[in-house]
Structure 1
Amino acid sequence: MRFKRYTTGVAIAALLAGSAYAQTPGQAPIAAGTLNPASEEAPVRPVAAPEFRMADGIVATVNDSIITGFDLRQRMLLVIAMTQVQPTDENIQSIQQEALNVLIDERLQAQEIATYKDLIVSDAEVDAEIAAMAQEVGTNAETYLSFLAEGGIRPQTLREQMRVSIGWRALVGGRFGTRARVSRGQVDQVMRQLAESASKPQYLIGEIYIEAARVGGQQQALDGAAQLVQQMVQGAPFQAVAQQFSAAPSAVRGGDAGWVVQGTVQPALQTALDQLDVGQLSRPIPVEGGVYIVYMRDKRDNSASSLVQLKQVMVRLPETASEAEVMAATARLTALQPQLTCDNMLARATSEEGLLGADLGEAEVPSLAPQFQQVARSGAIGSISTPLRTPLGVHLVAVCGRRAGGVEAQSYRDVENRLRGQNLAMLGRRYIRDLRADALIEMK
């Protein structure tokens, strides 16, 4: 199942629909909604400017920069247009707080960008960004801006946001590019972890993380997440909501967290992953420091697509061998098993009479003999099985390597790029936190 990419553009197609949000008395189901594939192709509908009033005076100052009520109202309209979250009495404060947080961060980013005299974002770069956003939703820049204008959003509001966004990416990449590099050892460690987890169940998920400290506390995070879930099951696109509201690094990818392996996430999240069906959206999941919302895009028992490298030592016995012969071969291999490793087992087999050794190479688990499949699925790398009886004889099987197979297998370069992107995102978040800590921010 492909996760459609949404950038800062208006999310035109609703991904989640239905009325499964209501709970059955006495029950607390994990799932809150299901995927509606037809909604991905929903036609464009002009947005109408929500009716909420706000004074046009100064609402905040960020160092020597002001944020007016008009600025805040424009940004709230942009958040609403991009996410298709409909303003209600319950969520309007959350939308306002999110818009104000974004404006404060942008003021700080713009002020920092201005200290680098050679960092200039041209009008052409802004035009190209808006044109790319428009193309992603199947239109041109002129129509795209007109669409926003129908919702009361000035083109300049979007242009200002894009200019800061482009400049900030360039600044973070230029300033921290060297620090974001990853060592060969870090990549090798992740590659080993991927190999070790290749046979475990995996989940392709979208995530939204509401950080409690950013929204005023854990209860506010929980209430805000509940409102977002309700909006998404009524039609607000998951990716657009994630991009605007999520504090997770995956927010820049519309909440795309990729494939996660069973047992590598917090227990509360693992419980949800085990219970959600493909296409379902979770209810808010409280964790320390915030609240998660998870969308189950796909799941798989990865043993079917994992590639395993096996070696064996065997005593050849026909199917007609007597029980005494089988027991003798089993006893011999049982005594030998603690002495074997992936490195020495073939040499041991050639040095002892009556033993045969073989490197079975790399194979997909389903293609192996039935007696070998369980060992291939669950055996730790470097482990040697107990004796196994097949029509050919009695075997000891060593699991000498494992990796993901198929189109989802990650190369060394894939892992390196992913780790570098995560490092850059972390350094960028730390950078803006430091700017906030040093700034004079006053609310009016």
Structure 2
Amino acid sequence: MHRLLKVLLASLLFTALPVGANAAEPAQAPLVPLDSIAAIVDNGVITMRQLQERTTQIKAELQARGTQLPADAVLERQVLNSMILEKIQLGIAALNGIRIDDQTFNDALARLAQQNGMTVAQMHDSIVADGHSWASFTKQIRDHLTIQKLQQRSVDQNIRVTEQEVRDFLAQHANQLDPGLQYHLAQILIPIPGAASPEQIKSARSEAEKLRKQADGGESFAKLAVAHSAGQHALDGGDLGWLGADQLPTYFVRVVNIMQSGDISQPIRSPSGYHLVKLLGVRGGKKVTITQTHVRHILIKITPTMSSAQARAKLERLRREIERGASFATLAKANSDDTGSAANGGDLGWVNPGQLVPQFQKVMNETPVGKVSQPFRTPYGWHILEVLGRRQHDSTEQMVQARAKQIIFQRKSQEALNIWLRHIRDQAYVRILLKRHGAQDAG
């Protein structure tokens, strides 16, 4: 399987959680023969064909990565749980009018292709040549983007980090913060339901301890994760990728800091359940030097009275004026719709990598010092920019401050996301009709 598909499929897997409960019956589901339905989820269904296609897809991805596979029934159960939670989230997104516009979708396609050294056309040909449906492939991308947007709106935007929290954190952990240090982790999550009884908590811990013994005994951690984990990356062998300190959940930090590569932690308790963490590797460290760019721009927004074509044409005219000797700053003050920078002649100051939207960052990186770019579009409208300078900057101190804030945010975000996912799963109507799983009714 092409590396592109492996990267994408690894990124499009969603959390699998236990069956929840809901008191209400769903509205009438689409008329599909009963024996072709794997599960009813609120007002929709997951068909056996969809389940089989996704299971085959995941199995091929795991085999390509060399991950040992669990029994077919176990893998199928994990995939079905993942699809159920995916469908619940897409339903909530639809009810809240959350959608991905064509530009955002096309930008995501272009970035994915670029990351794999392809054009979008070449990516299309590669996917089709591997025997996969391009329509299904792009639907997964759009669904993934939709769920990301829903999670950001439902969870992330409600999280606040105060300056006092940052100061308190630095007072306790400043010596532990290494801006360049990253950990490669995998995890297995054994979930605990909300308002769990002591017996349920004890049972979850017992299962986590049993899995740890199996892993210590030589069984593949990735295989155990695929078969048993309820984490968001279960179907990727539990692999969380490379994470900085800012991305480690609170309950991982102290444990990971004293682990050696290859170690597997004792069960770690969190609001979501018990975690087993395997440290796959450590890299980076100490001083952080970044390339900063001094840039200014002119923005023309698209409005009911300013079409996209008109905005681009206006910027082309302004660019020609600049080439003939007109002042960029003067034109920015008179024309830019970015009111924050227009007063300063469009000057954005020294910009750090990743500080601006990807489309702007790409053009900025490709524009030589002293040159004005061609007009280009971002979600904010049409721009031209001029690069005024570049420099290497030791950002270690700023990175320590930023990482402290990110650590606090990520910890709050991850804990809030796990609780939110469990809540929406418990509130949804789910009935599993897959015969080999046994019919289960959440209502």
Report the TM-score, using the length of structure 2 for normalisation.
0.50
Q: Go from structure 1 to structure 2 and tell me whether the alpha carbon gap of 1:247 and 1:152 turns closer, same or farther (over 3 Å shift).
A: closer
* Alpha-carbon offset, residue 104 of structure 1: 0.8
- Tell me, in whole angstroms, the C-alpha distance in 2 between the residues paired with 1:417 and 1:259: 5
Q: Tell me if the contact between 1:7 and 1:133 (Cα under 8 Å) persists in the aligned partners.
A: no
Q: Does residue 293 of the first structure (1) align with residue 278 of the second (2)?
A: yes
Alignment partners' CA distance in 1, 2:279 and 2:412: 23
d(CA) in 1 for partners of 2:125 and 2:131?
A: 10
**Of 74, 87, 112, the match for 2:92:** 112
Q: Does 1:256 align with 2:235?
A: no
Counterpart-to-counterpart distance in 2, 1:57 and 1:260: 41
Considering fraction of residues, name the structure with more helix.
2
Name which of 44, 62, 70 aligns with 1:65: 44
Q: CA deviation at 1:283?
A: 5.5
Residue number in structure 2 paired with 1:439: 428
- For 2:119, the equivalent position in structure 1 comes to 140
For residues 123-173 of structure 1, the C-alpha deviation after alignment (integer angstroms, 9 at most, x for no partner) is 443332233222222223333344444454322333232222222222332
Structure 1 contact 207–255 (Cα < 8 Å) conserved: yes
Tell me: CA distance 1:294–1:64, structure 2 relative to 1, closer, same or farther (3 Å). same
Cα deviation per residue 1:165-198 (whole Å; 9 max; x = unaligned)? 2222223323445421211111112222332436
The 2-side partners of 1:264 and 1:286 are apart by 11
Higher relative contact order (CA 8 A, sep 6+): 2
Letter in 1 for 2:419: R
Q: Distance in 1 between matches of 2:168 and 2:282?
A: 27
Counterpart in 1 of 2:316? none
- 1:198-277 equivalences under 5 Å are 204-213=182-191, 218=207, 222=212, 228-229=220-221, 243=233, 245=235, 251=240, 254-258=241-245, 265=252, 273=259, 276=260
Match of 1:16 in 2: none
- 8 Å Cα contact 1:205/1:297 also seen in 2: yes
- The TM-score with structure 1 as length reference comes to 0.50
In structure 2, relative to structure 1, the CA distance for the partners of 1:432 and 1:147 (3 Å cut) is same
Describe how 1:21-420 pairs up with structure 2 within 5 A: 57-83=36-62, 84-85=64-65, 90-117=70-97, 119-197=98-176, 204-213=182-191, 218=207, 222=212, 228-229=220-221, 243=233, 245=235, 251=240, 254-258=241-245, 265=252, 273=259, 276=260, 280-282=261-263, 286-287=267-268, 289-298=274-283, 407=396, 410-420=399-409
Show the counterpart of 1:373.
none
Q: 1:146 to 1:100 in 2, by over 3 A?
A: farther
Question: Structure 1: how far apart are the matches of 2:60 and 2:41?
Answer: 26
Letter in structure 2 aligned against 1:419? I
CA–CA separation in structure 1 for the residues paired with 2:84 and 2:281: 33
Per-residue displacement from partner, 1:53-108 (whole Å, max 9, x unpaired)?
Answer: xx982111111211112211222233345553457663544432332222111100
AA of the residue aligned to 1:210:
I
Gaps of 5+ in 1: 13-54, 307-404
Deviations 1:219-269 (A, max 9, x none): 68559977654679xxx9xxxx98454798x94xx35244899x9858875
* CA 1:161–1:285: 2 relative to 1, 3 Å: farther
Query: Aligned AA for 1:116?
Result: N
3-state SS of the aligned residue for 1:413?
helix
* 1:427 equivalent in alignment to 2:416: yes
Determine the C-alpha separation between the residues in 2 that align with 1:229 and 1:438.
32
Q: Which runs of 5+ in 2 are unaligned?
A: 12-33, 194-202, 289-393, 434-443
The DSSP-based 3-state class of the residue aligned with 1:212 is strand
Aligned length: 278
Larger Rg computed on CA atoms: 1
